[in-house]
Each structure stands twice: as structure tokens, then as C-alpha cells.
Amino acid sequence: MGRTPCCEKEHTNKGAWTKEEDERLINYIKAYGEGCWRSLPKAAGLLRCGKSCRLRWINYLRPDLKRGNFTDEEDEMIIHLHSLLGNKWSLIAARIPGRTDNEIKNYWNTHIKRKLNSRGIDPQTHTPLNSTSTASTTTTSNNSIKKGSSSNTNSTTKFQLESQNSLTKVMQAPQIVRGTTSCEESNSSSGITTEEVNPAAELNLDLSLGLSVQPAQPHQQVTFQVSGYQKQGVCFCYSLGQSCTCGGSMAGSITAQDNLYRLYKPY
């Protein structure tokens, strides 16, 4: 039986995108917004698979992407987040503004791995390269953190190496909650992704690993502006474990439910 293909492969282009295809995709998304990727190619007049369009947009065409070299600060941030999250590139990318999971993954494989090796650190386990016995068990565990996976006794090994302080940082970090949206819902031109940050969900991730965790710090009450109006909200702003520094002027996203505004900042 199997799944139906995501597109009719014999009628789709593959490989590098042309400038004209890029323009078509950009123009379509500008007009109708992101989402409904399956039907987008036809609507936009593109002979491409929907997945290919999504990838091209997310990894290359999105206007909020930061191009150019990674800074040292970003390097260290990636290393730190990888030590906490493993190869969860999308989670890492969610905390580094303007960078995509693909970009970070490539950068990790081509630069940071080498950088850590030259420092004598195992890139997978973040432990000194000599401690091979520990590394052999933790490498697999690091990559075994699957969505919804059941607890794995090996999984705790790596995290036991981390300080309790680092665990607290993970808990305070916002998490992307994947959500499928209907085409109608997602056809806004806001440019804001449909992903929502949910610190509690990240807590669940850690709990699934059988960890003892500390409660996150209370969130800060802030005043901020939405469409020219002053609003009160709860700040989920987070700076790798440091207390809130946003002061209500948010660079991150804002969500609102029942007049309760939640402010998020990637880091």
C-alpha cells in the first residue's frame, strides 16, 4: 500500500532553483502567505514539489534570514544548545534568530565539529575526547531523543553529565510546538511561523527522560505595545537561564489568548 507521493514526480523540476522560480515563490507567498504547501506549487505556477517549495522558502528565501558568517557568539550558543539538546536542529534554530535548522546543521558538520575536536572535545558528547567509555554510551543517547519517544535509560547518561544549572536552562528555554494548521489559518501574510513556543512542553521532554528537574523561575510581568496600544503580559523571555532582560520591548513573537499576552524571545 504505502503513502501516496507528495507530488507527481514526473512533472516536477528538481535540483537548483532558478531566479524565476524564486521570484514566483516569493511573489506567491507575499500575496497569500505561507502554508498549504501541497497545493502551493500549482497555485504559484511552479513545477516543484510542495516540500521543495517549503524548504526553499524556509532555508533561503525567507526575508528574516540572517545571511553571512556565524559570529563567535552564535558558535558558542550552538555548542551550548547542542550540549543540552543534541541533534535537535530545529530546537536549536528556534533559539538563534535568523538561522535555519539546515544552516545550523551544515555549519555544525563543517565547522563546529572540527572546532570542538581541535579543543579536544567530543562533538557528540561534549566530553573530553579521552573519556571514550563515556562517549560510546552517550553518543547514541544524544541522538535518541525522539519526539514522543519513551524514556530510555541510556538517555539519562549524558544529561547526568550536565550540571543541574544547565538543566534549569533547558527548562526555561522556550520550545517550538509543532502544529499543523489548515490552509485558511496559515494564509496570513504576517511572516510569523505557525509554531508556538511552549516552555511546558520542553519540560515534558525532560521529564520523559526521567530527569529530576527544578521549577523554572517565575515569568516577569511586562508592559508592551501592540498596534499602538499598551498591553500587560507575561514575559517568557529567556536568556539561557538569566533573568528577563527584554523590559517589554520584544524582538520576539507575541501570542495572545483570552487577553493574556505571552511574550517570547528566542534568547
Partner DNA sequence: AAACACTTCAACCGCACGCAA
Partner DNA sequence: ATTGCGTGCGGTTGAAGTGTT
Write out the residues near DNA by the rule CB under 7 A: 1, 3-4, 6, 13-17, 35-39, 49-52, 54-56, 59-60, 87-91, 101-103, 105-107, 109-111, 143, 146-149, 176, 178-181, 183, 186, 193-195
Helix (H, G, I), strand (E, B) or coil at 35: coil
Indicate the residue among 28 and 89 with the shorter CB distance to DNA: 89
Residues 233, 263: contact at Cβ < 8 Å? yes
Cell reading at 5: 507521493
CB of 239 to DNA, least distance (A): 22
Indicate the residue among 53 and 222 with the shorter CB distance to DNA: 53
Indicate the residue among 63 and 218 with the shorter CB distance to DNA: 63
Q: Quick one: CA torsion of 120, 167, 192, 179, rounded to 10 degrees?
A: 110
DSSP 123: T
CB of 213 to DNA, least distance (A): 20
Q: Considering only CA atoms, which of 32, 67, 38 is closest in space to residue 54?
A: 38
CB of 256 to DNA, least distance (A): 19
CB of 184 to DNA, least distance (A): 10
Indicate the residue among 67 and 215 with the shorter CB distance to DNA: 67
Would you say the C-alpha torsion 173, 176, 177, 183 has a positive or negative sign?
positive
CB of 88 to DNA, least distance (A): 4
Residues 250, 224: contact at Cβ < 8 Å? yes
CB of 173 to DNA, least distance (A): 14
Alpha-carbon gap, residue 146 to 91, rounded angstroms = 12
Long-range pairs of 248-252 with CB within 8 A, sequence gap ≥ 24: 248/222, 248/223, 248/224, 249/224, 250/224, 251/97
Indicate the residue among 177 and 256 with the shorter CB distance to DNA: 177
Indicate the residue among 92 and 244 with the shorter CB distance to DNA: 92
DSSP 87: S
